[in-house]
A and B are shown apart, each in its own frame.
Chain A
Amino acid sequence: MEDTPGNGAGSMLNLKNVTFSYSSGSKIFDDISINIDTDAITAVAGRNGTGKTTLTRLIMGIIHPQSGVIEFDGKLISDKPSYVLAKNIGYVFQNPDHQLFAATVYDEAAYAPMQLGMETKQIRECVDGALAATGLSEKAHLMPQTLSLGDKQRLSIASALAAKPRILILDEPTSGQDCRERTVLLRLMRKLNSTGLGIILVTHDMDILAEHADKMIVLADKKIAYAGTPRQLFADEEKTVKLGLELPEAAVIAAEMGLELCLTPAELYGKMAVWREKNA
């Protein structure tokens, strides 16, 4: 958890002096620069309205910066539209119903590779791989709308994966899901990351963030207010609160019990055992 894991391939997503505002309103970002290590799981957090989704939409090319550039592996991408970037970056939206249209789960997943002009054989491989990775192989012939919400969310991940992207953006992937589906999804996210896929996770759930993110970016006041490991930030409670975030539940409980900082339930249980031995 401490530092960047991954295979050290070292591909990078760089935002340089990016400024952005929607045509209707005031600035969302004012001259922000950040390097995102695309081997890690990087979480994007911040109060509502600070531009978490705007940041990922900029990366995906849905919107484009007024000034500044975004580069991927040293190549300029901020002038390209999202349908071109889909080859390298997958984007999973909060609401899977916004994209499901095909007659079967298989066709749904096959759309992106078809659109990107892959050959039939390659499409088949990519789709089978994506469905297997997300545990949907058995449901390939079903109609997407008849799936459970958890399955739908994993299908939209599969349909992004089928294009063989190198980065996957997940926007509040656990919203509306029950605790069991949530666990499955987060496990899937880690598995995908361990195979070398970079993850950018937009979330307001600090428990998930603390347990799963290697790095985090916090947005506030049109700027990047924090970039670093979750542990470093959560160690400074005052700063965390100032940025509009709350501490993860494990950290709160640990503090109330007078223990050192804990980010995950497992860590908390570990520290508790030590504490109990000492007090016994």
Chain B
Amino acid sequence: MGKAIVITSGKGGVGKTTTTANIGTGLAILGNKVVVVDTDIGLRNLDVVMGLENRIVYDIVDVVEKTCRLRQGLIRDKRYDGLFLLPAAQTKDKTSINPEQMLELINDLKAEFDYIIIDSPAGIEQGFQNSIAGADEAYIVTTPEISAVRDADRVIGLLEAKGLNNPKLIINRIRHDMVKRGDMMNVEDIIDILAVDLIGVIPDDEAIVISTNKGEPVVVEDEPLSAKAFKNICKRIVGEEVELLNLEDNEGKFSKLIKLLFSK
């Protein structure tokens, strides 16, 4: 029996879809059978972030309405055999599915996959309610901004009201340089305010923009700091203990060399 994890945030644009694509791909790299599910009906995007937009025939509404079989709705990833995408419908709206149907769908998927990673839409309306319906665990994505942290707090409350206790936090787009000069809330500040457990911190990284442009989740690469951060989250999900990344690596070798010279 697999585990279903919903990636949610309340606020839009904080990186839910990117996080879903990278965690899903990262877990597949570790050898798991994974399906990423896009529940953002009407505004689907997980397909383009995964680079699978040209392969879509059926979607989640077709599967739920039994227009096609579950297997027909799943799109196999182009790089990893154990990785599949269940795309959202683009021409329908959030009310085309209800939470009961979602629960049934996720349970069917849990019988076949090790991990089901569910990409939630922004907001707290029916699309959100659908996305959390079958989830065993919830990960909240936030950025170090007031608006995102506030919405994260609200979503944590809503999740707990639905029995999804102890959601875990992913802090996205941390900028070490700004944190250092006191112009951005740091990890401790945010944890302190939200009072939830942390599962990972993702640095603000150009590599993510570049990889999204190409339709390849950054986690498939070795070098970028954000790729390492996503790999670490995946290792934590499968039960490994991994320390938080030292984001100072961001500084680059040159400035480190200078520091070394002057520290003598």
A, B assembled together: no
